[in-house]
Structure 1
Amino acid sequence: MIGLFLGDTDFSVAVHKKIRKLNKEYFIIDFSKNNKFKKDNNSHRISIGKFGKIISLIKEKKSKNVLFAGKIAIPKFSTLRLDLKGVYYMPGIIRAAKLGDAAIIKAVINIFDNENIKVISSIFFNPELTLKSGNYTKLKPNINDNNSIKKGITYFNKLNSLDHIQAVIVKGSTILATEDRQGTKKMLSKLNKKSKGILIKLPKKKQDLRIDLPTIGLQTLKDCKKYGLKGIVLKSKKNIFLDKTRCISFANKNKIFIKII
């Protein structure tokens, strides 16, 4: 029995679909904003403040492993009703919330570690959502592009472990934009329509690779076209690539390269 903590984004839907296809026994704790898995009979809607109830359900289901997929909707903490474990753990959750939804998931994982509940990688059942090293499009980066990519990677390597940057736009020797907690789409909106930049998305330093892997999908490619980007660079086996067949086709049609390093 696998416990699925599912939030928003298409990634959570992909995980749910794969688990069902594999005929795995599962239950869901739906942390999405609008209860998107309510039609599944195995789904449970439990407030993040009810940690006692959550942990009791995991033990009742005799679940040895749980995984997280998708973006957790940050709750309005002042309205939460807490059980005893919720009262005990909530201060840490509130502190984490100030750093974003990924930090909330990390705080929850720490709680599960404390309760001897194992959290496995979000792509454990979906390894097909990652890519190995290589170029995946007809268009490949040229010498100048590769120099830009090296510049972007050097920038990432200089970041400290407390930085939350997971993506940059680089052109030549210039970092045109960096991603903050508002996400890639917001970062791209800062560019002009013919930026000729390259999007590089890499895991943050000391990132828990069980969760919050850099993710792209078809909308990312459409945004790259809108702002005139030349290509996308991701880290081998440390990314989530949704709907990759359509993405690669779109990239080929619009002369955008996709490189996995």
Structure 2
Amino acid sequence: MIGLFLGDTDFSETVLKKIKRLKKEYFIIDFSKNNKFKKDKNSHRISMGKFGKIISLIKEKKSKKVLFAGKISKPKFSTLRLDLKGVYYMPGIIRAAKLGDAAIIKAIIKILDNENINVISSIFFNPELTVKSGNYTKLKANLSDSNSIKKGITYFSKLNNLDHVQAVIVKDNTILATEDRQGTKKMLSRLKKKSEGILIKLPKKKQDLRMDLPTIGLQTLKDCKKYGLKGIVLKSNKNIFLDKAKCINFANKNKIFIKII
């Protein structure tokens, strides 16, 4: 029996579909904003403040593994009703929330670790969502692009593990934009049209690779086209690549390169 902590974004639905296809027994703790999994008979809507209830459910189901998939946003703490374990653990969650949504998941994982509940990688059942190093499109990075990519990678290496940056835009050896808590789409919207930049999306240093892996999908490619980006760079086996075939086809049609380092 696998426990699924599911939030928003298409990734959570992709994970659930694979679990069903593999005919695995599962239950859901629905942390999405609008209770998106309410039609699933195995779904449970439990407040983040009810840690006692969450932990009891996991143990009742005799679940040996749980995973996180999808974006889990900061709740309105003032409206949360807490049980006894919620009272005990909530101060740590509130402190984590000041660092961003990803830090909330890290704090929850720490709580589960304390309760001897094993948290596995979000792609444990979906290894096909990662990619190995290489060029995946007809168009490839030229020498100038390669130098800009090195600049972006160096920038990532200097970040500390509390930074929210999982993506940057580089061009001509210059960092044009960096991602903040609002995400990649918002970062791209700050670019000028026809920017000719390169999107580099990598995991943060010392990132817990069980969750919050940088993700791209077809919408990312469409946004790259909208703002005139010429390429995307990802990390081998450490990015989630949704709709891979559709993305590569779209990139080839629109002369965007996809490079995995």
Q: Which whole-Å deviations, capped at 9, do the CAs of 1:45-103 have from their partners, x for residues lacking one?
A: 00000000000000000000000000113211111110000000000011111111110
What residue is the counterpart of 1:125 in the other structure? 125
Deviation at 1:259, TM superposition (A): 0.4
**Structure 2 residue 213 is the aligned partner of structure 1 residue 204:** no
What residue is the counterpart of 2:174 in the other structure? 174
The TM-score normalised by the length of structure 1 is 0.99
**Structure 2 residue 114 is the aligned partner of structure 1 residue 107:** no
- 140-149 vs 11-20, which moves further: 140-149
Q: Which whole-Å deviations, capped at 9, do the CAs of 1:170-207 have from their partners, x for residues lacking one?
A: 00111000000100011011110011100000110110
**Structure 2 residue 143 is the aligned partner of structure 1 residue 143:** yes
Q: Secondary structure at the match of 1:119?
A: coil
Deviation at 1:26, TM superposition (A): 0.4
What residue is the counterpart of 2:43 in the other structure? 43
Aligned partners of 2:113, 2:129: CA distance in 1, in Å? Answer: 26
Instruction: Kindly report which structure 2 residues correspond to 1:215-254, keeping only aligned pairs within 5 A, or say none.
Output: 215-254=215-254
What residue is the counterpart of 2:159 in the other structure? 159
**Structure 2 residue 29 is the aligned partner of structure 1 residue 29:** yes
Q: Which residue identity does 1:127 align to in structure 2?
A: P
Q: Which residue identity does 2:29 align to in structure 1?
A: I
- 248-257 vs 162-171, which moves further: 162-171
Aligned partners of 2:120, 2:143: CA distance in 1, in Å? Answer: 39
Stretches of structure 2 that go unaligned for 5 or more consecutive residues are: none
Report the aligned-residue RMSD: 0.6
Deviation at 1:158, TM superposition (A): 1.6
Q: Which residue identity does 1:188 align to in structure 2?
A: L
**Structure 2 residue 70 is the aligned partner of structure 1 residue 73:** no
- Cα pair 2:99 2:162 within 8 Å, conserved: no
Q: Secondary structure at the match of 1:118?
A: coil
Deviation at 1:161, TM superposition (A): 2.5
Q: Which residue identity does 1:158 align to in structure 2?
A: K
Aligned partners of 2:137, 2:3: CA distance in 1, in Å? Answer: 37
Aligned partners of 1:63, 1:30: CA distance in 2, in Å? Answer: 16
Aligned partners of 1:158, 1:95: CA distance in 2, in Å? Answer: 24
Deviation at 1:162, TM superposition (A): 2.4
- 70-79 vs 208-217, which moves further: 70-79
What residue is the counterpart of 2:5 in the other structure? 5
Q: Which residue identity does 1:249 align to in structure 2?
A: N
Q: Which whole-Å deviations, capped at 9, do the CAs of 1:18-68 have from their partners, x for residues lacking one?
A: 000000000000000010011110000000000000000000000000000
Q: Secondary structure at the match of 2:110?
A: helix
Q: Which whole-Å deviations, capped at 9, do the CAs of 1:91-150 have from their partners, x for residues lacking one?
A: 001111111111000000000010000000000000011100010011111111111111
Q: Secondary structure at the match of 2:177?
A: strand
What residue is the counterpart of 2:87 in the other structure? 87
**After the TM superposition, which parts of structure 1 deviate over 2 Å for at least 4 consecutive aligned residues?**
none
The TM-score normalised by the length of structure 2 is 0.99
What residue is the counterpart of 2:195 in the other structure? 195
Q: Which residue identity does 1:110 align to in structure 2?
A: K
- 10-19 vs 146-155, which moves further: 146-155
- Cα pair 2:100 2:164 within 8 Å, conserved: no
What residue is the counterpart of 2:260 in the other structure? 260
Length, aligned pairs only: 261
Q: Secondary structure at the match of 1:112?
A: helix
Q: Secondary structure at the match of 2:89?
A: helix
